[in-house]
Amino acid sequence: MKIEICAIGECMLEFSNLEKNLYKQSIAGDTLNFSFYLDKKIFNTFFLTAIGTSDISEKVLNFLKQEKISIDLVSKIASNEIGLYVIKNDNLGEKRFYYWRDNSAAKYFFNNDIKKISKKLQNFEYIYFTGITLSLLEDKNIDSFMRLINYFKKKNSKIVFDLNIRINRWSKKNLITYLNKLLPKVDILFASGEDFFSWKRTKKINDFKKIINKFKIPHGIYRKNAQFNYSFYNNKKYIIKNKLLKKVLDTSGAGDGYNAAYLSNFLKHYDPQKALRCASGIGAKIVMKKGAIVDVR
């Protein structure tokens, strides 16, 4: 039997900068990237989101079907279109995002229509979403979203959350409020050193450990930087030291692919050390290509 998992978030048009004024158009978004990189031999993958009704949105549906991601929980919003973002990379491959998503179908859906989806929901073993998912919510709707998460918890779903903080998408006050509501519900927490610094102004591993202890999170994975990655599971710490790559083209999607590979491998072997190695290997392949969704075979 495959594991049932549902990712919650937004898919967008991606324009990645190949050179000077030349851009490549793709479909991406952090939770979609994660869904793409999951091992479909292990998971039945669902995506809870909303798109428009244009030919561009139809391409999204075709892409999801092609990648064995169920469209059963994809809503269509006639009045809105999917969002858009542009990636520009520096000489080290580090990404900078420019967004056009404030009127996206997903943002409208999560703030107006999410209650309508409840009749379609089934029991999922795992629920995955991120800080970017939370950034879609207006202040008044965070409690509605938390009711959805509580619904899943009552159905014995495991909640998997990636901090994935984009500090320009929400205020520091909202960040703290949302995380304090959410983290006590989380079973598996992913975070990068960059995310953690945006939140706590520190990247120290002991400060990450304090968070998972404070909120009683049983499994925490911390990508401190490109070289050192950690996993905390069953009161044990696991560590992997990666070789630094000489040439990185684009770090977009690497964290999402890392999370997907870690979870896929962990649920296959229940060995955090193996999962760290597998995740680092996938992440290294992704950063050598342009765009968030790439072929890593």
Q: Domain spans of the chain?
A: 3-286
Task: Give whole-number Cα distances, 126 to 33, 269, 278, in Å.
Answer: 16, 17, 20
**Across 80-85, average pLDDT:** 94
- Between 167 and 76, the more confident residue is 76
List alpha helices for 136-271, DSSP H: 142-154, 172-182, 193-200, 205-214, 254-269
Mean pLDDT of 140-167: 92
Q: Render pLDDT for 242-283 as a digit per residue (tens, 0 to 9).
A: 988 878 888 889 999 999 999 999 999 999 999 999 999 999
Q: For residue 170, is pLDDT > 80?
A: no
Instruction: Calculate mean pLDDT across residues 134-151.
Output: 90
Q: Which pLDDT score is estimated for 93?
A: 65
Task: Identify the architecture of domain 3-286 in CATH.
Answer: 3-Layer(aba) Sandwich (3.40)
CA 208 to chain centre: 19
DSSP one-letter code for 165:
-
CA dist 271 to 51, 60, 61, 209, 278, Å?
A: 37, 35, 35, 19, 11
Per-residue pLDDT tens over the stretch 38-76: 999 999 999 999 999 999 999 999 999 999 999 999 999
Token pair recorded at residue 203:
């990247």
For position 46, what pLDDT does the model report?
97
**Number of CB atoms found within 10 A of residue 296's CB:** 16
pLDDT at 175: 85
